[in-house]
Amino acid sequence: MTINTEMKVRVAQIAQVADKVKRFRFERADGQPMPVFSGGAHVIVSMRDGKALRRNPYSLMSSPEDTVGYEISVLRVENSRGGSAFLHEKLKEGDELVLSQPVNLFAHDHRAKKHIMMAGGIGITPFIAMMDQMEREGAAFELHYAVRTRTHGAYWKELQQRYGKHRVKIYCDEEKLFIPVADVLANQPLGTHLYVCGPAGMINGVLGKARELGWPKQNLHSEEFLAPPPGKAFQVRLARANRTIDVAPHQSILEALEANGVEAPYLCRGGACGQCETGVVSCDGELEHNDHFLEPDDKASGKKIMICVSRIKGNAVTLDL
């Protein structure tokens, strides 16, 4: 017996908060309270878009203690696989969607003497909930937030008003201002933790600099949800179920399984959590590992694959499913 804890919600409000960024507020259709969550948590939003069922992870940005509704902010991306285009262009106030329970893969360390957050663009969203919780818990924090232009950057004015300019610092690409990573990281008190959320290049740059400066790995945290990269079509053979399923160029293996009624475990759908790790029986082709979860040895072994973001270059892969 499994517990179905998915929540049916109604879109209570849609607001344009910056160029290409919309905020969505969801309230439960049955009037029950939303669960309290921890800053940094995300939910999976399930969207029925015509025939397609889309399930994407989005960080929660509302106050973790707000049990009336959850809020997310979504950037309209150019080459949307469908999720951001659907949310921006088709979803209307009053429509119904399904949310998962909150899952946190980006929790702050409660032992920290101080928290430093670095956000790039839409990577700001988990930090909005985190700061709300840190402020409530009386924790010391500062935010360094890089935006392309002042009109692209969401929420920076509100955050500066709420927490003060000494704790919320804005850097605008257009004004040739960049986060002075090395200066910020130098001379922090012992027990400071660093959190980074933004594009892959930014995360790698900041974490690399921190390691160079001798920061312990345990004090560094980052989150990046990967969209499953497209590729060529291939086939998945399910060894135990004795079935063959086609994976389309813009589909992940997980999505192809779900579209064919096969239930597979998942949590983040972004290559981070490890829940969808699946055994590879054989592969006629080359595995393309796109996740952040498997160790290099595991990737090299060819025996495991994270089906939410990884695929193959070739004809067919046989999975232990």
Partner 1 sequence: MNLNFKNESFRDDYTFKNSPESIRRFPFPFNEDKYMYSVNMEPHVPAGPAGHAYNNAIDVDEHFVAEMRDRALVLKEDPLRYLALPHMMAAQWDTLELLMENQAASYPEHFTLEKNGDQWHWINRPMGIDQIFTFGDASTLPMEPLEYITRQAQGDFVIVDQRDGQLWCDAGMVTTQADWSLDFDIGMNFHEWHGPVPLAHEIGVFDRALKFLLNLQQGKPVRRLNWTMTINPRLDTSPENYHKWGPDRATVTPENVGNKVHLRCELQTLWRLPRSNAILFVVRCYLIKMEELVTVPKWARRFHRVLRDLPPELVDYKGLTRYRPTTVEWLAKFDDGQPSTPGIYPE
Q: Which is nearer to partner 1, 100 or 125 (CB)?
A: 100
| 5 binds partner 1, rule: CB under 8 A | yes
Q: What angle do CA 104, 162, 28 make, to 5 degrees?
A: 45
Distance CA 42, CA 52 (A): 22
Q: How far is the CB of 237 from partner 1 (least distance, A)?
A: 26
| 101 binds partner 1, rule: CB under 8 A | yes
* Region binding partner 1 by CB under 8 A among candidate stretches 96-104, 123-131, 152-160, 226-234: 96-104
Name the residue type at position 311: R
C-alpha of 153 from chain center: 18
* Region binding partner 1 by CB under 8 A among candidate stretches 55-63, 129-137, 181-189, 284-292: 129-137
What is the pattern of x (binds partner 1, CB under 8 A) and - over residues 242-271? -------------------------x----
| 46 binds partner 1, rule: CB under 8 A | no
Per DSSP, 320 falls in state: -
Q: Which of 89, 95, 96, 109 binds partner 1 (CB under 8 A)?
A: 109
Q: Which is nearer to partner 1, 37 or 234 (CB)?
A: 37
> Please, which of residues 130-189 interact with partner 1 by CB under 8 A?
133, 136-137
Q: How far is the CB of 265 from partner 1 (least distance, A)?
A: 9
Question: What DSSP string runs through 154-223?
Answer: -SHHHHHHHH-TTTEEEEEGGGT----HHHHHTTPPTTEEEEEES-HHHHHHHHHHHHHTT--GGGEEEE
Whether residue 131 contacts residue 119, with contact meaning beta carbons closer than 8 Å, is answered with: no
Helix, strand and coil content of the chain, in percent to the nearest 5, comes to 20, 35, 45
What is the pattern of x (binds partner 1, CB under 8 A) and - over residues 64-83? x-------------------
Count of positions on this chain that bind partner 1 (CB under 8 A): 28
Enumerate residues 6+ apart whose C-beta is below 8 A from 13: 23, 24, 25, 93
> Which residues are at the interface with partner 1 (CB under 8 A)?
1-3, 5, 35-38, 40-41, 64, 101-104, 107, 109-111, 133, 136-137, 217-218, 267, 273-275
